[in-house]
Amino acid sequence: MKKAKQIQDMISKPFDLLSEELVFIILDLVAQNPSDLKSFSLTCKWFYQVEARHRRSLKPLRAEYLPRILTRYRNTADLDLSFCPRVTDYALSVVGCLSGPTLRSVDLSRSFSFSAAGLLRLAVKCVSLVEIDLSNATEMRDAAAAVVAEAKSLERLKLGRCKKLTDMGIGCIAVGCRKLKRVSLKWCVGVGDLGVGLLAVKCKDIRSLDLSYLPITGKCLHDVLKLQHLEELLLQGCFGVDDDSLKSLTHHCNSLKNLDASSCQNLTQRGLTSLLSGAGCLERLDLAHSSSVISLDFASSLNKVSSALQSIRLDGCAVTCDGLKAIGTLCISLREVSLSKCVTVTDEGLSCLVMKLKDLRKLDITCCRKLTGVSITQVASSCPLLVSLKMESCSLVSRDAFWLIGHKCRLLEELDFTDNEIDDEGLKSISSCRSLSSLKLGICLNITDRGLSYIGMGCSNLRELDLYRSVGITDVGISSIAQGCCHLETINISYCKDITDKSLVSLSKCSMLQTFESRGCPHITCQGLAAIAVRCKRLSKLDLKKCPFINDSGLLTLAHFSQGLKQISVSETGVTDVGLVSLANIGCLQNIAAVNTRGLSPSGVAAALVGCGGLRKVKLHASLRSLLPSSLINHMEARGCSFLWKDYNNHNNSNTLQAELDPKYWKLQLEEDIEL
């Protein structure tokens, strides 16, 4: 009798036997997909509670719901408020009170309308707060910084673009937060030598320091380089750091692993030599856009760091053949080399550089237009471990070279062949790289469906595929990709004019699809879109610009099925007010672009704007600016939404301007003219 009752109990409460720890382990596995977690918690009351206790990190869409969310999730440690543009002091005090003791990190980088008072609540109540991101708080002043200094246990602090902060505020933080390990002051243009110097004197544990674009000189670097644990120092665009102020610098910062001195226009070989003199264990060096010529002399300044150096970036520098040769012989343990936009790189230079770099994993030679197949052949044969190769716009490279790349470098994961001469045979050879995850074939006019079918068969791990303006592609190629690459997350088929709904239907098999760009595909209709909307639940970015057959029914389907959509462009489509208003149904929607969409009326746009609560960016035609009520615009801006007013009336002018700015665009323009 008793036993029977027990059994009955068990049946009525089937999960009593399941311990909470076990459920937590299950939840760890389920947590990969947010919607699965949601389904789980809706199973029963107990699951609901367990899921609430399990969750550690939150990324809410609306700050208004914070009280309710935080009451449910009591163990929240990481709170990412980057989806909430408007976080008031009240919201912050709610956070402080409800999850004060557990909270470890807060991200306020995309939020505004809080002040020092709210931060004080947070700093005082959240005793174990370790990380706070206050980037983009452009109105933040020293008073607020002094409040941040109350968070004594802070270890990671980001203050990027806090332009009104001065040395005084940083001084308060330096004195208050002694445990700081990672500090970013990028673009805090009010902070100078004194503030940084004090930070270095007071916070001895600093591991990473981002001083990019600060008006500092070499003076504060004397203190900074005395830090015992400093591993990362970013000095991007510090124009005040020059040779003279570094002259007397002697340091032994053996912990330094990563140094970014890119865009330091006044730093030449002399200053760099003293900067590198004590950094014997440096692994990564970034000298992009520096003013000095990378010559033989320059390479000699790398003498001290050559043994451990693993990565060097020389983007946009004037490199000489001798310089590259010297780097190649000095730094033989290099794994990453970036020569992007170094227009002076020649075949000889690159060949000499890679000759001895057997360990090279990543090579970026974007826009090195002088390179031909000779050096690419050298790269392929010298560097068998290559993982990433970016060679956009190396249009002199012959087709054979691509064949060799696929043949020799079997470990490739990332390939950028945008604007190259690669053909189907090249793709066939590349399809043997089994781990390929990102492939960019934009403006590759020689490839056809046959080449893509090789990729579809060979590269099952492909996550990203870019076919922008690769006009030889049709539905057949896309369907073979959709067949073989089930992990596809991002695909761009913009301006592939032969693409129809068939492609979309086949792509809807890729359930992981997040970004879909089909700009300028004239044959796409709402039926294809519906297939994607229904089956690709993770869809978050959608570009439908210049697809004239897309209309309201497509958007209605989207609004119903794609609840995760964050960004959509419906410019120059057949969408009307009905479709736009229906988008308000999507809670996460942040960016809308609807320029030159004829069917839109001001009242419809206004209704859509009011309806979409989480909007951050809206791109509209300039004529709507005067037609929309200014109170509505003010209201939207107060909610954290910014407007971009586009005026395409002078169509031809803007085109010619763009053609001048972008050589690639000019090329395209030329091709289109030929076709016409």
Partner 1 sequence: METGEDDLCQNNWGSASILDYEMAMEDEEEGEPNLHVFKASSSGKDNNNNNNGGQASVQGVKAQAWDPRTMLCNLSFMEQKIHELQGLVHLILGRNGQLQDEQQQLITADLTSIIIQLISTAGSLLPSVNMLSTTAPGSALFPFPREANNLASQTLNNGGASQELEDDAEEGENLPPGSYEIKQLEKEEILAPHTNFCTICGKGFKRDANLRMHMRGHGDQYKTPAALAKPPTKETLPGSDAPMLIKRYSCPFPGCKRNKDHKRFQPLKTILCVKNHYKRTHCDKSFTCSRCHTKKFSVIADLKTHEKHCGQNKWLCSCGTTFSRKDKLFGHIALFQGHTPAIPLEDTKPSAAASSQRGSSGCGNSNNNAAMVSFSLGSAANANQETSQPCVMDGKTSFEESFSPLSFDICNFGGFPRSIFDDSFQMLISSACGCSPINGGVGSVSDTSL
Q: Give contact residues for partner 1 (rule: CB under 8 A).
A: 49, 52, 67-68, 71-72, 74, 89-90, 93-94, 97-98, 100-101, 115-117, 120, 123-125, 127, 139-144, 146-147, 149-150, 163-164, 166-169, 171-172, 175-176, 189-190, 192, 194-195, 197-198, 201-202, 215
Q: How many CA atoms lie within 13 A of 133 on its CB side?
A: 13
Q: Tokens 């107990």 belong to which residue?
A: 46
Structure token digits, residue 626: 């005067």
Cα angle vertex 670, ends 666, 671, to 5°?
Answer: 120
Helix and strand tally (H, E) in the chain? 29, 24
Q: Shortest Cβ distance from residue 606 to partner 1 (Å)? A: 27
Q: Tokens 């579809």 belong to which residue?
A: 456
Q: How far apart are CA 88 and CA 75, in angstroms?
A: 22
Burial of 562 from C-beta contacts in 10 A (0-12 / 13-18 / 19+): buried
Between 74 and 625, CB nearer to partner 1? 74
Q: Shortest Cβ distance from residue 497 to partner 1 (Å)? A: 50
Q: Shortest Cβ distance from residue 92 to partner 1 (Å)? A: 10
Closest CA to 526 of 583, 573, 578: 573
Between 240 and 349, CB nearer to partner 1? 240
Cα angle vertex 545, ends 605, 512, to 5°?
Answer: 105
For CA atoms 44, 47, 53, 55, the dihedral sign is negative
First and final CA of the chain: distance in angstroms? 89
- Residues 6+ positions from 204 with CB-CB distance below 8 Å: 178, 227, 228, 229
Between 140 and 427, CB nearer to partner 1? 140
Between 164 and 408, CB nearer to partner 1? 164
Structure token digits, residue 210: 């981002």
- β-pairing verdict for 541-543 and 208-210: unpaired
Between 118 and 328, CB nearer to partner 1? 118
Between 50 and 422, CB nearer to partner 1? 50
Compute and round to an integer the Cα radius of gyration of the chain.
28
Beta-bridge partners for 183 = 157, 209
DSSP element (H, E) containing 233: strand 232-234
Q: How far apart are CA 356 and CA 370, in angstroms?
A: 22
Between 167 and 231, CB nearer to partner 1? 167
Whether the CB-CB separation of 482 and 488 falls below 8 Å is answered with yes
Structure token digits, residue 606: 């206004």
- Residues 6+ positions from 275 with CB-CB distance below 8 Å: 221, 246, 249, 259, 261, 267
Between 15 and 666, CB nearer to partner 1? 15
Q: Shortest Cβ distance from residue 146 to partner 1 (Å)? A: 4
Between 16 and 139, CB nearer to partner 1? 139
Whether the CB-CB separation of 180 and 203 falls below 8 Å is answered with yes
Q: Shortest Cβ distance from residue 636 to partner 1 (Å)? A: 19
Between 174 and 401, CB nearer to partner 1? 174
Between 39 and 75, CB nearer to partner 1? 75
Q: Shortest Cβ distance from residue 295 to partner 1 (Å)? A: 37
CA 155 centroid distance within chain? 24
Q: Tokens 């503030």 belong to which residue?
A: 195
Q: Shortest Cβ distance from residue 632 to partner 1 (Å)? A: 21
Between 197 and 477, CB nearer to partner 1? 197
Q: Shortest Cβ distance from residue 49 to partner 1 (Å)? A: 7
Q: Shortest Cβ distance from residue 543 to partner 1 (Å)? A: 36
Whether the CB-CB separation of 534 and 558 falls below 8 Å is answered with no
Q: Tokens 């956070």 belong to which residue?
A: 95
For CA atoms 99, 104, 109, 113, the dihedral sign is positive
Q: Tokens 């992007």 belong to which residue?
A: 340
Q: Shortest Cβ distance from residue 150 to partner 1 (Å)? A: 5
Q: Shortest Cβ distance from residue 118 to partner 1 (Å)? A: 8
Beta-bridge partners for 617 = 591, 642
Q: Tokens 């690419």 belong to which residue?
A: 376
Q: Shortest Cβ distance from residue 559 to partner 1 (Å)? A: 29
Between 72 and 469, CB nearer to partner 1? 72
Q: Shortest Cβ distance from residue 125 to partner 1 (Å)? A: 6
